[in-house]
Each structure stands twice: as structure tokens, then as C-alpha cells.
Structure 1
Amino acid sequence: MYLLPIPLTGLKRWGPRLISDALFILALSISIGSIFSFADFLRTTLGGDWQHFLSFLKGLVIQNTFTLIVLSQAQYILSKFGLSKVLGIITQTISYSLYVLLMFYILALIIRSAYGVIASLGIALMAIPFRIARSAGAFLLALSIVFYIALPLYPGFVDLLLTGHAYSHQNSIIIYGRIINEDNTVLNSGFLTLELKDYTNENKIYLVPITNGVFYIFDLPKNISLNSKITIFYDVTGHLFYTNITNISLHQLCNTSTTSRYFWLCEISVLVRGVLYYDDGITLHVNPWPEKKYVIYNPHDNTIRVDVSCADCELYISFVNSRVPSAVCIDSQCKDIREFIRYCWQWYVLDGCTAIISISGNHTVLVKLNSASSEPILILSMISKLRSTTHISPLEFIARLIYVQLISAILYLALLLSITLGLARLLGGTSRFRVI
């Protein structure tokens, strides 16, 4: 370059730069395999998993498609009554979300299968002399690296928007279900105590409220993965009742779920043993489980009637102090409940006692309650302070979910493109040169 018999001094000054660029491209070409090996390590460390990510997107696409079909049919029916505009905005919103998710899914497939080709093309463009296509090549190289690492982290980003906590794909599952007793009767209220073992085998206690017979777990505690063992207790009036879920891994529990894992949900049924009835700070439980039983609450006279047939059973009536029954009647013979009290307890911040009634044969037990109180609100307000993890209400979660459906994919792509442009500038800084 320096020996050329031409007066292009600016061109001659490019000699050192071309040499340094050649060495840089050589080093980049040799180390590209190591770069992506480190990218794999970094992605795994941050909790990214390509298989889970693609399944997650596929589930959202299927879910939105099904919802769109249902709403379209409903809109067609409502159009006959002049009410089609009611669902028009919702249908357009879901259509927009579906198009974005499809674009996101196609982009993910391209990056996963062709990230090496994109990176190689970027290096080839950077190798063109005089940095003619250096910026374009650096952008392609940065795009392949950033998107290969960060795209599988999208479920965690959605977690951050939904719950305010960013966890890995192992913690992003939503667990929900119903609470039933041994007669398949739904228990509408109370609490679940979850005993989880983290990777250090240390127990983590996790308290979840039950509303209208349904519980929701929107996020798992830190250090908890799908391989962690879980034991669930029904936690009411000073007692922990065993359920059908004891020392089972979350992975095994959710694989047997009736809801597809693709939909990012895990539906389970929790079977509580021994509990006949719970509501408003009063529990009726029995041991052993009777052959025949019938439990009904009468709101008119505020009583609980239990018809039971058992050879040798004990009926337990547990209550908080603010809900002491006024009397208990056995086959129309009424007595003071205090005659049957055997022990007392403290349930978090609430005190209470348990009465035990021995039953042999066929009997009718009538528990007369005090006037209705705001005990569920009191219990929830007190015990919710003891929970170690923040929960959000189902309605708030649904509102956030709709918001996330609209903006999460576009927002995440914009964030990744910003990072890509920054890395491209770092890799492909360009300089102008004077020809004369």
C-alpha cells in the first residue's frame, strides 16, 4: 500500500487499519465457537431454555387462536342484535396480539436454527476491506449473539410484568386448582400451607389463601425449581390436615395435570382428608371417615347439621374464639359446647379451641352458631401479613395479563434491538478516510 506510485495519501494511511482489521476478523472467526459456548452458558445461567420458550410461545398462539375463534362466533351472533361492536375491540386486540406472537415465534425459529449462519454472514461482511460493510456485519453478528442469549428469557420477562418478580422458566408456572374433601365436596375457603424443599433441601413454608374453592399460586419462592418436592396441607383453625399431595416433585405433579403444560398452567385437585366442613373460622372434622354422612349449613337459623353413621367415630368441632357455637345438639339433646372442649390452640394470631364428640351408630348433630361475622376478612387481613411471598388478586392478574398480551412481545423486541445496536457499535466502529 505504501509503495503504490499514486498520490492517494489518505488511501495509504489505511494500511495499518486494514492489517488490524484483518487480525480482528481472524481472531473473531477463530473464537466464534467459544463465543457461542459462553452464550449458551450465560443463557442457561440466566434461566433461558429454548424448548420451554418455544413451547411457551406455541401455547400462547394456540390459546389466542382458540379465543379469537370463540369471540368471532360470538361477534357473529351478536351482530344479529346490533351488538357486534361490543366484542369488536377485544377481537382486534387479540388479533394484533396473535400477529405479534406469530412474528415472534417465526423469528425465534430462525434464530435458533440459523444463528451460526447469521453470525458467519456478519463476520464475512465485516471482512470486506475499507470497512465498507463493517456496520452491517457487526449488526448481524450482534443480532445473532443477543437474540440467541435473550430470546429464551422472554417467559421471565413476562413474569416480571405480571407479578413484579423475574424468575427462570422453572418458576414461571402458574399452579391453581380446587379443594375437595373425601366426598368430593368443595371446601370454599381456608388456606393451604405449602412445604417446599429448595436445592439445599431446606424447607420453605408458603401460605396460600383459598377463594370460592379455588387457589392460585402465581409465582414460586426463590431457589425453588420444578424438581423441588412439595407437600400441601389444608390449614384451618389451628390444624394442618393432610392432603393427597405429599412429597411430590412439582414436575411430576404438573405432568399429571389435566391442563396442557404448553398453556403455562398447572391445574391440580387437592384432596383434604378428614374434613367435613369449614367456613368462617369453624371446622368440622371426623376420625375415622364415616361410612355415611350428610352435612348442610342452614343460613336461616345459622346452624350446621351433620347426619352421620359410624361404628366408632369422633367428631371434632374446631372454632376460633370469636365464633364459639352457642350450643351443640345430639339427637335433639342440646348441651353447652364447653362441655366437649378437649384442648385449645393458637392459629397464627387467632386463639381457639376444639370440642370432641364421640359418635357410635346413627346420630344427628346440630351445631348452633353465633351471628354471622366478618371472620374471613379478619383472618385474611391478619394472616396475609405472615406470607413470605407477594400475591396479587385474580382480577388484577387478568388485567395485567391482557396488558402483557398487548405490549410484552413488542417491548421485549425493542429492548433486544437496543442492546443489539449498542453491541454492534462496539464491534463495528467505522472511520471515514480521505482519498486525497
Structure 2
Amino acid sequence: MHTKPTLRCDGVNRREFLTVGALSALGLTLGDALRASAASSVGRGLGGKSCILIWLDGGPSHLDTFDPKPDAPSEVRGPFSTISTRIPGIALSEHLPRTAQVLDKVALIRSLTHELGNHDTGSHFLLTGHRPNPALAYPSLGSIVAKERGNRAALPPYVVLPEATSALGPGYLSGAFGPFAVGRDPAQARDLALPEGLTLERLGERRAILEQLDRFSQTVEANAATQSRDAAYEQAYRLLAAPEAKAAFDLAREPASLHERYGRSKLGTACLTARRLVEAGARFITVVDSGWDTHQNIAKTLPDALFPGSGKLPALDRAYAALLTDLSERGLLENTLVVLMGEFGRTPKLNALGGRDHWPRAGFACLAGGGVRGGQVIGKTDASGESPTERPVRPEDLSASILTLLGIDPATEYHHPDGRPLRLINDGIMLKELV
């Protein structure tokens, strides 16, 4: 029995990496996240695209969302009917009416497939493009973008809302490229303000002391940490002092009508924050939406059947459609890649509890903006949604495509500390249909 939506069936609870509250203590815990600026290659351009990844943590049912099977038997079809969309002949779940009206902006992949049915391994595969390796932790796509593209203005290049999972980390890269996470509901997140009694003047004095300590440590032992520390703390200080950084997280600047458009759910608030962060210069924003591990009672947990605002599908429908529309209206969608996915799909047949279990052989992903050609469906599953029958898409292919769309060559090589060359993505190929 699952009583907490933040827990998956494996009992893993997401934890904070970095928090807004920790920022205000002095910016010390933000140091790693902001070392990305110092560690990025000198002269790298600051233009280019941003990415918003909406991660449906737990594994969303493809059959009850983006790949329904209305003609299948009831135990396969599930409890929901379907609705038509802006793509002729393509239907979605009845609980995605707003998304159906913006599907002309979306490239819907219905043939995502792999073999890893555990939450952690599946998440790692989708978020890094690599099968998990006990001897080597691979960097998440967000960390790769942080390293390759650097940051703009005072914001960290890689932000997670509200909190990160383990697969969203920097892997074998420096902690400099890990995510900055709000760590709570963005609507309740404290502004990037200093604690009571701590002024910027006092913070500057503490920064000066840290600089002196760093200079001393560098005379004793020079290493990667000491070489980048000065720039990291300088960036942390800038984040605390910069009005544009504070403004990016200040949702009170948005009209009530726009809040209603996104929805007052945590997902809606996070998506609205993500749009503000894109405007402020963040490179890669991951929005983590938990609660998709639907082993039981899909008929009540996915729609608003328990109480208003309880359902996963209405909140997703509202927030996702609002994000695409808002970005489009502001002229930001062309340069903002929006990705929607989870670690796997769910079983073709309902189980005895009225839910669906893990099923990595078939799943979906949605890509929009960032140069993607919308209004199309890529791939197809069989009549029961069990396996792809056309154009199977692997996690490596999806990762390679995301990086390519963001202007990063997936064949780029990094080097392990022992000198081994490591490609960003080993076997994936760009999905040509996307462009």
C-alpha cells in the first residue's frame, strides 16, 4: 500500500541536494553548483537554447495518457475513454483535454523502449543515456549541459524543482555541475534573501576571510577544489546579491490569471517557475513530479476522483499545456526545448488492485520547442501497448537527440580521472524526424 505520493514502490524518498535556505547561510553549499561557471571552458558561447525537462517520477502509464488503446479489451483499455487532438487521427486520454489542444506543438514518441524495470536503473538510463554501471556513475543530461554551456547572469545553469533524485546528479563530473534544487514547493520557497541580521556588508567580510583562507590553502596544496573555489564563492555571492536572481524565483510578480492558467498544484507552480528561470538565463531546468508509481486504483488516483486537485492527470494537463502556450506566446518556445517523460511505462493489463505495474518495454516521451517539428507521432506500439511495432526508440537515442537539439555533440569525449576517454552518449543516434 502506498500512502505517501513522494515515495515510490521501492521505498526511495527523494532528498534535497541544495536548498534555497542553504543559500542564504553564506552561499557555501551552493559552491559546487556554481563552480560550473569557473570550470566551463574559457570562451564558450553563452547563447543557444535552454531545456525544461518535466520528469514524471515513478513511471507514467502510457496506456492511460499518451498511447491509449480504445479498441482493446477492458483489462487493457483501462477505465478511461479518449479524446481527439490537433493531430488528425491521434487520440489521448480523456483527462488530457488541454494537452490535446496543443499537441500540434509536440512530437509524441510512442515507441520508447528498454529493459530496465527498476525505478533507479530505469531513471538512470533515461536521464543519462547510459545503462547503470556499478563502477562508474554517469552524469545526467542537465549536468552535461551545465558543463558544456556554462551559465548566464547570476543563475546556476542547472536547476531542479522542487528536489532532485539521485539520477539527476553530476556522476563522474565534478560536483560543480550538479543541480541547484529549491527543495520544497516553489510557491512556498523563500526568496533568495539573507537571514535576519546578516547584511551584504557582513557577507562581504566573510567572503574576504574565505578568500584569504583559499590563498593560504593554495600555497600549501593546489588541487581542483582550491583552484575553482574562489570563482565558486564569488558566484554564490553574486547570486545572493543579484536582483535578477531573486526576481526569477519571485512568483508574486506573475498575475493571478497566469497562476490559474498553470494551476495551483506543485507541478503547475514548478512549471511557471521554470518558465521564469528560462527567461532569467538558466540553461537546464528539471521539474520533478512524483506520484506516478500507480500500482493500484488508477481510476481514482489519476483523475480528480478522490478530491478536487488530487488527480495526477488534471494537474499535468493544465501545467504542461500552459507551459507550452506561455512559452509560445512569449516567443520563447523556439529556443526552449520542453521534454516530458518518465522512467518507463506500465503493464498492458490492469492488475488485481486496479493499477498497472512496471513495464519498460513500452513508454512515451514528448518533445516540443527547441527546433522540434511538432504535430507528429513517432513510433507505434501493438494493439495492447505491449511492445513497439514501428520505430523503436532507445534511451540512448532520446538522450543523443536532446543533446543534439541543444547544440551539444553526443560524440564528445570526456576523460575519467584515470585517463580513460568517455563519450557523452555511446550508441544513441539523433531522431531525424524531430527536425
TM-score by length of 1: 0.20
More helix by share: 1
Specify which structure has the bigger relative contact order, considering alpha-carbon pairs within 8 angstroms and separated by 6 or more residues.
2
Larger radius of gyration: 1
